[in-house]
Structure 1
Amino acid sequence: MNTSTPPIDLRNPYVRAIAFGRMAGVLGLQIIIVAVGWQLYELTNSAWSLGIVGIIELVPVLLLMVPAGNLADRMARRNMAIYAQIVMFAAAVGLMVAAATYAPTWMIYVMIVLVGVSRAFSAPSVGTILPQLLKPDQFVHANAWVSSGSQFAAAAGPAIGGFLIAATGSTVTAYAVAAACQLVYIALLLTLPRVGPPPSSVKRSMAEVLAGFTFIRDNPLFLAAITLDLFAVVLGGVVVLLPLFAKDILDVGPIGLGWLRAAPALGSLTMALVQARISPWQRPGAVMLGAFFGFGLATMGFGLSTNFALSIACLFLTGAFDSVSVVVRTSLEQIITPDPLRGRVSSVNYIFIGMSNEFGAFRSGASAALLGAVPAVVGGGVAVLAVVGAVMLKWPQLVKLGPLHTLLPKLPNVEKT
């Protein structure tokens, strides 16, 4: 282990600002998601109105992510992140007004589009601020702390949103709290130094616009990591089926469903805190492969379980294993990506991760409808194990990967010209 730089934690003002800022942002977003679902179903009593929310939010992400990544490489990323959160604040306020005035459903959908726009510009900016402010051997611990805050918010946000709706009988207060969370995020971002865009002598061209895709294609280690994450989420995701398992298989009702939904986030939070305290992995590639193998086994265990406690334990493990892969993949991306390209690479990475969540939900639902819930989940876990084996054969260098901070950034040809 390289001991030239001491492990970093929340005492560092940059890590503290990003960790607590993202925690506030994720908390507000989760509250918005819960409140929008409740509000729409109250207004329409239609499952279809709920189903199209994800698509409406995903469209601006897909359309704007590549331009947003390019913009993140041409302006101060802190400022871009602030503008993105201002849009999210505006969306929360708009939803609050819509709830208070009993506005038509189209206004709610317009605000959801704004949520998608905010996320499109937030991902390539927020995720690339810390690499400008820290040393490479600090990235792993910093990402672990940031992930801890995000996972805590992901676990607490839905519960807080539901409590606020139940306590007030309306979604207005929930949206107000979500808006306040975005203001906290903006205030913390303002404490960070403004770092100008990295210098680049490359002329604007389509090749430069798509340089994020080129970089990932030409870097087998990162391509392998993204492939693992993509297929694990698509094949092993079970969240969309949890209501079915809670009602028909485990017979634990809505309270049990709440625990099932919280278990993966609690596992992720626990493992992120562990990774924030231990030394960085000496063989991160092998650790990532092992984590995905464990994720597949835990998914299979959940599918086969008829015991509530065992099901909770399996879901907890899926979250813990996923946390390992997130920290390793995020740190790998930050270390091997040159600063002039970080926005574009981050945007491409977010496209794959965002699409994998949507396709994973579709795959789980469709497989359960065709095969049954248990075969769909168990088969997904088996498929994850097969993907791990295929990645090991395709990219054997991932197994041999040493400490991440020993890697060096590599510019693609488009940036060398």
Structure 2
Amino acid sequence: MHDASSPDTRSDPPHAPDATASGEGAYAVLRNANFFRYLIGRFVAALGQQMLVAAIDWELFQRTGSPLALAFVGLSLMAPMLLCTLPAGHVADTFNRKTIILASTLVLAAASLGLMIVSALLLNVGWIYFFLVIIGVARTFLWPASAAFVPSLVPRHQFARAVTYNSGAFQFSCVAGPAICGLVILLSHQRAWPVYALNVLASAACFALVVPIRHDHKERPAEPVSIRSLIEGFRFVFHERIILGVITLDLFAVLLGGAVSLLPIYAVILHGGPGGYGLLRAAMAVGAVICAIILAHRPPLQKAGRSMLAAVSVFGVATILFGVANRNCLGPWIPLPDPVWFWFSFAMLALAGAVDNVSVVVRQTLVQILTPDEKRGRVSAVNSLFIGTSNEMGGFESGAVAELFGPAMGHSVQTGAIISAVSGGAGTILTVLAVAWIWPQIRRYGKLA
């Protein structure tokens, strides 16, 4: 095991800066042409993917009328992650990561083209799930290669800002993608195939932007495929205590604080209607984008460990306040008009999104700078697996608790949702206390650079 200062776990990206370099401004990393191309390419691709998933949800419900059909969307995307994470990490540490990104992008474009044909010809919806599995496989190989690729584009002192811009761009795609999807479907007479066509173009644009990128590719000796090489990412994570701690913290925060899955119920509680539901869905991403802009204009965090612990604590508090800020819960004691409750709830979700972005930036930066380059793909794959599955399981946990303490006990669905949100926020705060006690190295971790 190594602590935060161990030189062998702090593998510097290429072109390590001199001592004066850290005084650069917020936009210095954007003047790096290779990183800027990558950032724009990944943003366009993420925008297309957000549009695509929103369109799939809409089309499946329109064609089947079954909520279960929507549940299989998450399963179709998660199953490949569970099956392919270990080989994806090994591939990212064995082959040129840029080549993996380009190949995965081509597969995503081909799958989108298939979805366009299925939608335009109204073929059996089973084909939609087939192409979703293909997309899930491509994304599983894309994510670790992409995460491990960024350190080869920027010097170490710019890496935290690079992660901040990446995170902000992704969150903006989460806001803009579904909105563009809805507009395109509206303008195309309630058909989803034009959205899939746009995603083909988005993938092509990403491919074109990534091709000319020049990066410091280190030739690595091909490591034979073995159980040991496949699980090396897990071995490293469990031996590097800071990485294990920050991943654990983020995993349980997402697992317990999954209030987003309850938003259809809260739209009813807050009397928001369909429009209010859309605003609540966008709230966390709006907060994350604002936070990313602020972080990009500030020096790297000086007390990164404590900042992450504080951010996740605020996430838990914001989740609790979101859970109780409505007429059903606090209304009898604090009689306020419904719009006031709604916008306060929106603000709490935005706050949760903002502090979650702090946590994401710290976690992603630490995972990359504490991991040797030859293991970054496999460690990134483990990180993606934990966070990706916790997103899906968090939605299940929130819904299950809402059902258990709601209809299953003779109470209303709204009561169950409130209990689920509040207990999830409280569980998140307890997780912070446990992580701070079990991994004191996180509390002591200093400058994020």
Question: Quick check: 186-195 or 375-384, which moved more?
Answer: 186-195
Q: 2:99 aligns with which of 59, 79, 89?
A: 79
Aligned to 1:413: none
| CA separation of 1:203 and 1:163: change in aligned 2, threshold 3 A | closer
What is the CA–CA distance in structure 1 between the aligned matches of 2:52 and 2:129, rounded to whole Å?
Answer: 12
Deviation at 1:128, TM superposition (A): 1.2
Q: Deviation per CA, 1:114-155: give whole Å up to 9, x if none.
A: 110111111011111121122211110111111111111111
What is the CA–CA distance in structure 1 between the aligned matches of 2:404 and 2:222, rounded to whole Å?
Answer: 54
Aligned to 1:392: 436
The percentage of aligned residue pairs carrying the same residue is 40
Q: Deviation per CA, 1:260-282: give whole Å up to 9, x if none.
A: 00110010111111111100011
Q: 1:235 aligns with which of 239, 256, 263?
A: 256
CA RMSD, Structure 1 to Structure 2 (Å)? 1.5
Aligned to 2:63: 43
Aligned to 1:318: 352
Q: 1:190 aligns with which of 211, 224, 238?
A: 211
Residue identity opposite 2:378 in structure 1: R
Q: Deviation per CA, 1:193-237: give whole Å up to 9, x if none.
A: 255454348655321221100110001111110011000000001
Aligned to 1:292: 312
Question: Quick check: 309-318 or 181-190, which moved more?
Answer: 181-190
Q: Which runs of 5+ in 1 are unaligned?
A: 406-417
User: Where do 4+ consecutive residues of structure 1 move more than 6 Å?
Assistant: none
Task: Please say if 1:250 is aligned against 2:270.
Answer: yes
Q: Which aligned pairs between 1:17-416 and structure 2 lie closer than 5 A?
A: 17-169=37-189, 170-193=191-214, 195-200=216-221, 204-247=225-268, 249-306=269-326, 307-371=341-405, 372-405=416-449
What is the CA–CA distance in structure 2 between the aligned matches of 1:340 and 1:198, rounded to whole Å?
Answer: 10
C-alpha contact (below 8 Å) 1:77/1:195 kept by paired residues: no
Deviation at 1:18, TM superposition (A): 2.1
Aligned to 2:337: none
Deviation at 1:106, TM superposition (A): 1.2
Aligned to 1:410: none
Deviation at 1:4, TM superposition (A): 2.6
C-alpha contact (below 8 Å) 1:236/1:377 kept by paired residues: yes
Residue identity opposite 2:389 in structure 1: M
C-alpha contact (below 8 Å) 1:64/1:120 kept by paired residues: yes
What is the CA–CA distance in structure 2 between the aligned matches of 1:205 and 1:362, rounded to whole Å?
Answer: 34
| CA separation of 1:201 and 1:103: change in aligned 2, threshold 3 A | closer
Deviation at 1:65, TM superposition (A): 1.4
Question: Quick check: 45-54 or 196-205, which moved more?
Answer: 196-205
Q: Deviation per CA, 1:10-60: give whole Å up to 9, x if none.
A: 222122122211211111111111111111112211111111111011111
| CA separation of 1:10 and 1:190: change in aligned 2, threshold 3 A | same
- Normalised by the length of structure 1, the TM-score is 0.94
What is the CA–CA distance in structure 2 between the aligned matches of 1:384 and 1:153, rounded to whole Å?
Answer: 26
Residue identity opposite 2:371 in structure 1: T
Residue identity opposite 1:400 in structure 2: R
Question: Quick check: 212-221 or 35-44, which moved more?
Answer: 35-44
Deviation at 1:311, TM superposition (A): 0.3
Q: Deviation per CA, 1:172-204: give whole Å up to 9, x if none.
A: 111111111111111111121255454348655
Q: Deviation per CA, 1:47-81: give whole Å up to 9, x if none.
A: 11111111011111111111011111111101100
Aligned to 1:409: none
Q: Deviation per CA, 1:236-255: give whole Å up to 9, x if none.
A: 011111011001x1001000
What is the CA–CA distance in structure 2 between the aligned matches of 1:168 and 1:103, rounded to whole Å?
Answer: 18
Q: Deviation per CA, 1:295-343: give whole Å up to 9, x if none.
A: 0000001001110110010000010001001111111111011110011
Residue identity opposite 2:58 in structure 1: W
Residue identity opposite 2:133 in structure 1: V
| CA separation of 1:399 and 1:211: change in aligned 2, threshold 3 A | same
* 1:399 match: secondary structure: helix
Aligned to 1:4: 21
C-alpha contact (below 8 Å) 2:258/2:394 kept by paired residues: yes
| CA separation of 1:189 and 1:210: change in aligned 2, threshold 3 A | same
Residue identity opposite 1:265 in structure 2: A
* 1:380 match: secondary structure: helix
Deviation at 1:3, TM superposition (A): 3.7
What is the CA–CA distance in structure 2 between the aligned matches of 1:203 and 1:53, rounded to whole Å?
Answer: 35
* 2:301 match: secondary structure: coil
Deviation at 1:367, TM superposition (A): 0.7
How many positions carry a matched residue from both structures?
A: 404
What is the CA–CA distance in structure 2 between the aligned matches of 1:194 and 1:4, rounded to whole Å?
Answer: 20
What is the CA–CA distance in structure 2 between the aligned matches of 1:36 and 1:203, rounded to whole Å?
Answer: 39
Question: Quick check: 315-324 or 47-56, which moved more?
Answer: 47-56
- Normalised by the length of structure 2, the TM-score is 0.88
What is the CA–CA distance in structure 2 between the aligned matches of 1:100 and 1:203, rounded to whole Å?
Answer: 44
What is the CA–CA distance in structure 2 between the aligned matches of 1:103 and 1:197, rounded to whole Å?
Answer: 46
